[in-house]
Amino acid sequence: MDDKYVDFVVDTCLAAGKIMIESGSEMYRVEDTMHRIAQNAGVQSARVFTTPTGLFMGVDKTGSVQIEEVKERVINLEKVSRVNDLSRQFAAKLISLEELRDCLEDVDVNTAEYPLWMQAVGTAILSSTLMVLFMNDYDWYDFIPAAIIGTIGFLTFYFAKKFVNVRFLAEMLAAAVLGLLATAAHTINPAMSSDAIIIGSLMVLVPGLALTNSLRDLFAGHLLSGIGRGVEAILTAIALGGGVGIVIRFLGA
């Protein structure tokens, strides 16, 4: 087995791992997938070290060590699922290593997302229905405002993220917009509760999933990634709370 081949295997594994971390996969799945690809490519004794911001991989008794950095972390489960499928196909020898590498490139660039209007409709449904469930008093009055304001908040976040490089700032901006609109709705029609509207419309941005995932990472023994993701989730919570809090404080609602 020559060094070039080993390097190529390591490169392929890292490409797979990077896509999975960027798309919000669990750490044990990332490591498992990378080990599997290496093993199926005939490279035993691969060493993998993953963190939420970068991953390393080396092979014993060769000089081959490579690093890949992870700059962006979002949740895009279609990508995780496609990498998973590719790894299975490679294990079943349906595709070769070169094809796997090309397909990974394709997954990274060309994974289709739902069109923006569908995501917006999803947010509207989520905000309004969860608001009713959470308030637990079948509050139909805020149903439509929650849907509309939730969608506006999501769109604000979506577009702000493209202009602002820091994700937390985009979250704070979206939360402030939500708070402002909810307070405005309450002022226009006092029968609407601004609290209920904010709770419903914030749900699409709330990092509850990130927190739960970080706890699971911690329990599973991935201390570094658990702490990293947990801190990220807490920062998001602070950004959201700060955005809403500032608006409420200034408007005195």
* Minimum distance, C-beta of residue 69 to another protein, in the bound complex (Å): 23
State the minimum distance, in angstroms, from the CB of residue 248 to another protein.
5
Task: For 29-56, give one letter per residue: b (16+ CB within 10 A) or e.
Answer: bbbebbbbbbebbebeebebebbbeebb
Beta carbon nearer to another protein, 49 or 134: 134
**Residue (45 or 212) nearer to another protein, CB:** 212
Nearest approach in angstroms of CB 97 to another protein is 22
- Whichever of 53 and 84 has its CB closer to another protein, that residue is 84
Sheet holding 46-51, edge to edge: 46-51, 54-59, 65-69
- CB closer to another protein, 64 vs 128: 128
CB of 177 to another protein, least distance (A): 16
132 or 169: CB nearest another protein:
132
Instruction: Quote the least distance from Cβ 82 to another protein, whole Å.
Output: 8
To another protein, the closest distance from the beta carbon of 33 in angstroms equals 9
Given the complex with another protein, which of 100 and 239 has the nearer CB atom? 239
Q: Where are the alpha helices (DSSP H) in 189-222?
A: 194-202, 208-219
Buried b (16+ CB within 10 A) or exposed e, 182-205: bbbbbeeeeebbbebbbbbbbbbb
Place of tokens 């509760």: 193
Enumerate binding residues for another protein (CB under 8 A): 24-26, 29, 75-81, 84-85, 88, 111, 113-114, 118-119, 121-126, 129-130, 132-135, 138, 154, 195, 198-199, 202-204, 206, 208-209, 211-213, 215-216, 219, 237, 240-241, 244-245, 248-249
For the chain, counts of helices (H) and of strands (E): 10, 3
Q: For residues 127 and 178, is the Cβ–Cβ distance under 8 A?
A: no
